[in-house]
Amino acid sequence: MKNIVVTGGGAGIGRAVALQCAARGDSVAILDIDEKAARDAAAAAWAAGAPKSLGVCCDVSSEESVAAAFEAVAELGPLDGAFANAGMDAGGLLHELPFEIWKRVIDTNLTGVYLTCKYALRQMLKDGISGSIVCTSSPAATVAFAAGGAGAYSASKGGISALVRTMAVDYARYGIRVNAVVPGATETRLMWANVAAADMVEMRRRVCEEVPLGRLASPDEPARAVVWLLSDEASYVTGAHLVCDGGILAKASISV
């Protein structure tokens, strides 16, 4: 049994991770900017088997909010694992992208991961725990999305990937593992954040055609990769990127 904290745990992959951890007997703290979603997910986690579950309102772009959330999380006991997952997307070509949107994406995705890891690491080091941290990266950290206009999102995810490698080396001496999961097209709200409602059916069809496996992932699928990285079964894995993208990064963009 472990104590796990999940940011962005109110929906999507984060919620799926919390529920899978709960089903294996872990206690979970679910942090989300949507307090109701966090509390609802915590209730579902308890019903799924978590000995303890907490739903905490947290804005990961605010150090004050993250610090307060981790104070609340401490009531679970020593922290064994953290899934730094909270994120957002707002698209646009760079020359047209307002600075406020750029800053909001970077503050949420990259600074949010930094703050989550900072406070998780502090707890693990204080308690002498050889824990596991998993951060959510993206294929966008490696390649540009064909649809374009994802400069801020891609920059934030590239930063996460670099940060994961650095933390893995820095904290290996303490027995703390740091890895990234790289989900592809997954059926979540974030997937469709920049798609107009009228275009959804056609866009889903096109995406399914472009993914080698021919479909979007369920949130449960990348969640299983995260839960494995958080577990002792991955005890010799650190600094890695576990790609769960249906073959997107393996595929060339040209047809000949």
How would you classify the pairing of strands 241-244 and 81-84?
A: unpaired
What backbone torsions phi and psi does residue 37 show, to the nearest 5 degrees? -65, -40
Distance in Å from the first CA to the final CA of the chain: 51
Burial class (CB in 10 A: 0-12, 13-18, 19+), 61: buried
Looking up tokens 């646009």 gives: 92
What does the alpha-carbon distance between residue 239 and residue 178 come to, in Å, rounded to a whole number? 6
Are 9 and 32 in contact, with CB atoms under 8 Å apart? yes
**Would you call 171 a catalytic residue per the annotation?**
no
3-state secondary structure 156-191: HHHHHHHHHHHHHHHHHHHCCEEEEEEECCECCCHH
What backbone torsions phi and psi does residue 53 show, to the nearest 5 degrees? -150, 145
DSSP string for 122-150: HHHHHHT---EEEEE--GGGTS--TT--B
Tokens at residue 151, please? 């400069």
DSSP string for 72-107: HHGGG-S--EEEE-------B-GGG--HHHHHHHHI
Q: Which of 153, 171, 174, 236 is catalytic?
A: 153
Which active-site residues does the annotation give?
153
